[in-house]
Amino acid sequence: MPEPLAARVAAWLAADPDPQDRAELTRLAAAGDVQAVSERFAGPLTFGTAGLRGPLRAGPAGMNTAVVRRTTAGLAVWLRRSTPRPVVVIGYDARRRSDRFALDAARVLTGAGARALLLPAPTPTPVVAFAVRHLDADAGIVITASHNPAADNGYKVYLGGRGEDAGRGAQLVTPADGEIEQAIATVGAAADIPLSDGWERLDRSLVDAYVDEAVRAVDGLPDLLSGGPPDLLPGAQVGGGPLLVAYTPLHGVGAAVLEAVFARAGLAAPVTVPEQREPDPAFPTAPFPNPEEPGVLDAVLALGRRIGADLVLANDPDADRCAAAVGGQVLTGDEVGLLLADHVLRRRPGPVATTVVSSAALAALARLYGVPCTETLTGFKWIMRAHPRLAFGYEEALGYAVAPDLVRDKDGLTAALALARAAQHAKRSGRTLLDVLDDLHRRVGVHATGQVSARFADLAAIGAAMRGLRAAPPPRLGGRAVTAVRDLLGGTDGLPPADVLILQLDGAARVVARPSGTEPKLKVYLQAVVGPAEVAAAGLAAARERARTELAVLRTAVSDLLDLPPG
């Protein structure tokens, strides 16, 4: 093994407090597995789109006890610069070692003089984000890798705040992330970090408070009681019988809380895929437990067909995302976002926000409602800061904030309830959400969206692809002229610098390229638009077919341009 690498291994082993992690690294070094050891020392994990995230393995480039303790110690240093005894809420999912990492975080925080409040059991991420605001905490930590494969885990940080701060309870952003990383770098050996068991364990009342407030926020009880649509009141009778929902939490932690939310809202309990209901860190029926991945929804779609469900819903393992299908048709994240935006704005008009990679349909809908629409960088940490009185925010990757004052992040549980309410309202009139979507497409036009995604073993190849596209953007793509190029790398239009390149094409078509913030992927987002006037002239079916055809042409053109391997 090269001497510099061997020296780094020896130094890490001397400072690692976890005997299992030390044994793993010692075994690999003794076997002379240079590649495996090098991967574990490729660099420290950094705060990406959704915090730290990486494989469960020893070394600075993995999720392990030493990394969690050093990260928490750095966070404590940073928090104490402004608050002598910060209050931090800590939650965790049901992944391997999540409970141990959460306890490590609590012990480090208490040892640093902070007040650590630990959730009593594996809990959906939105509940922890809720707790930061509900308990007026200075920060929140969630140990989760969300929808990543079973081999991964992660560390997400929420920041507190006071008053009308739009970021109160949202994920940390620049410059805080860089400042915390600098503080982490100054932390000494993980084995020497002071620990204390003076942390506090929260009880079930926090989850109960979330359930009550989630239903109140989604249903808007004060508005409804003063004259809103009576069909949205809890327990209201619906034409055609009760709403029937098929559901899966994908072996995650969402089922119990979602069922409690539905019960509190007076909805029939969803029928859940039995083999996927209980938390299981191995994800035996969904190795890639992301509802966007092909085949992941097969079991719940089959269940929906068997029971004749009005609505099919799926949460990802930490329940901050929500997928939906109606009549066997899986809706895209942009379609769900449009449905939810309309549902919210009909009852609570206000500012909305989405990302540069999501559909432009939200902006078109916002214009019809006369409300502002802000475009942000990818990630809910940016969406939530778009406006202190944000009414709705979403991103195409199945993330939705239908109650931003409750949870300053994406929340797959309130999104599921809002979708159920929208489906319930449609069913009362003998319609489905597909009919509602038809109406919306007639109003704002058909925005067909899709993605070309490529996974790379060599991260340098992603940077090379982005540099090549920047150096020579095509004058035409998919038969359309490229009318404008927006490079966000240097910061533009009030947005922070980001590795994003946007190509605007004739006819409101668009191509957006960016590296993934959570996976070793290059993602290219596509949009083709048929406007409302053309929809009215040609008919909805013809307009959709035209948009699909144009999107397919664009997908082929982008794949050829970048010479992408299969995604």
Q: What span, in angstroms and rounded, lies between the C-alpha atoms of 394 and 63?
A: 29
pLDDT at 240: 64
pLDDT at 224: 34
Helix, strand, coil abundance in the chain, percent, nearest 5: 40, 20, 40
Q: What span, in angstroms and rounded, lies between the C-alpha atoms of 562 and 512?
A: 13
pLDDT at 493: 76
Q: What is the DSSP letter of 231?
A: G
> The tokens of 548 are what?
């699909």
Q: What span, in angstroms and rounded, lies between the C-alpha atoms of 559 and 531?
A: 26
> Which residues are within 8 A (CB) of 380 and not within 5 positions of it... i.e. 6 or more apart?
170, 171, 393, 395, 399, 401, 409, 410
pLDDT at 518: 65
Q: What is the pLDDT of residues 93-121, one digit of tens each?
A: 999 999 999 999 999 999 999 999 999 99
Name the nearest CA neighbour of 128 among 107, 149, 105, 151.
Answer: 105
Catalytic residue among 82, 98, 146, 226: 146
> The tokens of 20 are what?
């299992």
HSE-CB at 51 with a 13 A cutoff on CA atoms is 25
Name the nearest CA neighbour of 88 among 202, 258, 220.
Answer: 202
567 residues of the chain, pLDDT tens digit each: 899 999 999 999 999 999 999 999 999 999 999 999 999 999 899 998 778 999 999 999 999 999 999 999 999 999 999 999 999 999 999 999 999 999 999 999 999 999 999 999 999 999 999 999 999 999 999 999 999 999 999 999 999 977 678 889 999 998 999 999 999 999 999 999 999 999 999 999 999 999 999 999 999 843 333 233 434 333 334 456 899 999 999 999 999 999 999 999 999 999 999 999 999 999 999 999 999 999 999 999 999 999 999 999 999 999 999 999 999 999 999 999 999 999 999 999 999 999 999 999 999 999 999 999 999 999 999 999 999 999 999 999 999 999 999 999 999 999 999 999 999 999 999 999 999 999 999 999 999 999 998 888 777 888 888 999 999 999 999 999 999 999 999 877 789 999 999 999 999 999 999 998 667 788 999 999 999 999 999 999 999 999 999 999 999 999 988 876 544
Q: What span, in angstroms and rounded, lies between the C-alpha atoms of 469 and 558?
A: 11
> Residue 295 burial by CB count (10 A; 0-12/13-18/19+): exposed, middle or buried?
exposed
Kindly report the backbone phi and psi dihedral angles of residue 326, in degrees, each rounded to the nearest multiple of 5, phi listed first. Answer: -135, 130
Does 146 participate in catalysis according to the annotation?
Answer: yes
pLDDT at 430: 95
pLDDT at 232: 38
Kindly report the backbone phi and psi dihedral angles of residue 457, in degrees, each rounded to the nearest multiple of 5, phi listed first. Answer: -75, -30
Question: Are the C-beta atoms of 293 and 268 separated by less than 8 Å?
Answer: no
> Which residues are within 8 A (CB) of 51 and not within 5 positions of it... i.e. 6 or more apart?
142, 154, 155, 156, 157, 171, 172
- Predicted structure pTM score: 0.93
Question: Which domains, and CATH codes, for the chain?
Answer: 3-203 (3.40.120.10), 206-443 (3.40.120.10), 445-562 (3.30.310.50)
pLDDT at 34: 97
Name the nearest CA neighbour of 371 among 384, 383, 362.
Answer: 362
Kindly report the backbone phi and psi dihedral angles of residue 427, in degrees, each rounded to the nearest multiple of 5, phi listed first. Answer: -65, -35
